[in-house]
Amino acid sequence: MTDAGLTPTQQPPLSPQASLEIDTDPVSTLWDQLFEHQSIRDQFIRAVRRFADGRTVPECYDVLEEQNVPYWLRSRILEVARGNRRDAWRLAADLVPKLGQGHASLEDLFATAQFFTDYLPDDQPSTLAVTINREFEDTPRRKREPICRLLAVLATGFDARIIATGRTQHWLAQHHREDLPGVSEWRETHHPAGDRVDDALEALDPDGRKVELLRQLEDEPAQTLSRHALRAMHDVDRSRISQLLVSEQDSLTELGLVAEFGPADDRTVELLEAGRQLLEQLDTQYGRHQVLSEAVSNTGTSSQQCRGPNNPYASHSRKPPVTA
């Protein structure tokens, strides 16, 4: 069972109620985008009927006024509550989605959004998949803040999954911690980098191709590379790189060291905080590792034979070094 709220992720959820995309458009576009989904329109109508259930007409008007629902929507809301199908369609498909545009203010939009979420069932919130693209970071703050405010309101009634790269999630935590509830704890709560580093140290060979992939990402200014670029750097079958990244046991994605984003035919790989910390820990041992490498070149002894109890990467259960 899921709870209402904002949850960061890098993978789209299965079967969301609605999928939204945030870039440089204003908040009114996001609101309109939400109501393009018939399932959301249906939920709004059910919320209206749930609101009116057990209330007299005067009581309904009083509550709508207290919640600052726009006055020109109040009578239509009551008509919908009475079962008027024509008004229900017009309210959910035309009037409400256009809030924030024309004569309707942003405050009208936010008040109606709060009214909507207040009367959603709270036993099993529907899931919203909200993709935040990097273009959002370059949008003026005066446009970003209303969008964050709407997300915060929606998160009171929906399970809002925020799909963004690790870098964008970190940026949101830095720049919008006052606008998005719980965002400042995202990286600590949902990205336990220390635990992931410990797991990765156990699972990965420091001489293996997976660590080499991490270092190639680290060398890039944005610490991202396309899958195509990574494949070109390695003389192995193209499917092998995909296995190392996402599909095999202890893949870099499964270990939480990298994330992928972008269209299926042009995926981009991003180094995450746990991946950076792993490389830092490996680098603290690099001098010792370099000595071992030199010993191998001078004596012909394999690096696997050189590993002993004083080597932090030694383990009786280790597999041979990954070479492909």
Are 179 and 280 members of one domain? no
**Domain assignment present for 314:** no
Last residue of a domain, one of 189, 209, 239: 189
What is the span of the domain harbouring residue 237? 193-306
Counted domains in the chain: 2
Are 117 and 149 members of one domain? yes
More confident site: 322 or 176: 176
The predicted pLDDT at position 16 comes to 95
Which residues, including other chains, have CB under 8 Å from residue 193's CB and lie 6 or more apart? 187, 256, 272, 273, 274, 277
Report which of 107, 120, 138, 119 is spatially closest to residue 27, judged by C-alpha positions.
107
More confident site: 183 or 120: 120
The predicted pLDDT at position 128 comes to 97
**Domain assignment present for 315:** no
Question: Mean pLDDT in the chain?
Answer: 84
- Across 22-31, 40-49, 243-252, least confident range: 243-252
**Domain assignment present for 253:** yes
The predicted pLDDT at position 123 comes to 84
Task: Calculate the dihedral angle through the C-alpha atoms of 37, 43, 45, 49, rounding to the nearest 10 degrees.
Answer: 180
The predicted pLDDT at position 117 comes to 97
Last residue of a domain, one of 125, 157, 189: 189
Last residue of a domain, one of 189, 217, 252: 189
Are 183 and 230 members of one domain? no
pLDDT at 188 over 60: no
Are 61 and 165 members of one domain? yes
Q: For residue 129, what is the DSSP state?
A: E
Contact 266, 276 (CB under 8 A): no
**Domain assignment present for 324:** no
Contact 175, 167 (CB under 8 A): no
Mean pLDDT score, 91-104 = 91
pLDDT bin (cut points 50, 70, 90) of residue 44 is very high
Are 85 and 69 members of one domain? yes
Contact 207, 190 (CB under 8 A): no
Query: Kind of pairing, strands 224-226 and 268-271?
Result: antiparallel
The predicted pLDDT at position 185 comes to 65
pLDDT bin (cut points 50, 70, 90) of residue 264 is confident
**Domain assignment present for 298:** yes
**Domain assignment present for 312:** no
Are 259 and 284 members of one domain? yes
The predicted pLDDT at position 64 comes to 98
pLDDT at 178 over 90: no
pLDDT at 190 over 70: no
pLDDT in tens, 270-308: 888 888 889 988 888 654 344 334 433 443 433 333 333
Are 62 and 127 members of one domain? yes
Are 170 and 25 members of one domain? yes
Supply φ then ψ for residue 186, to 5 degrees. -55, -50
Are 81 and 94 members of one domain? yes
More confident site: 102 or 240: 240
More confident site: 277 or 322: 277
**Domain assignment present for 121:** yes
- Across 20-24, 163-167, 228-232, 282-286, least confident range: 282-286
The predicted pLDDT at position 288 comes to 35
In residues, how long is the chain? 324
pLDDT in tens, 60-70: 999 999 999 99
Instruction: Quote the tokens at residue 163.
Output: 């799909």
Supply φ then ψ for residue 7, to 5 degrees. -130, 125
Are 163 and 290 members of one domain? no
Contact 5, 182 (CB under 8 A): yes
The predicted pLDDT at position 276 comes to 87
The predicted pLDDT at position 54 comes to 95
Find the CATH number of the domain harbouring 247. 1.10.10.10
> What is the 3-state secondary structure of 188-255?
HHHCCHHHHHHHHHHHCCCCCHHHHHHHHHHCCCCCEEEHHHHHHCCCCCHHHHHHHHHHCCCCCCCC
The predicted pLDDT at position 322 comes to 47
Are 173 and 32 members of one domain? yes
pLDDT at 313 over 50: no
**Domain assignment present for 143:** yes
Say how far apart CA 15 and CA 244 lie, in whole Å: 27
Q: Taking each helix axis from N to C terminus, what angle separates 38-52 and 106-118, rounded to the nearest 10 degrees?
A: 70
Are 154 and 82 members of one domain? yes
pLDDT bin (cut points 50, 70, 90) of residue 224 is confident
Supply φ then ψ for residue 92, to 5 degrees. -85, -25
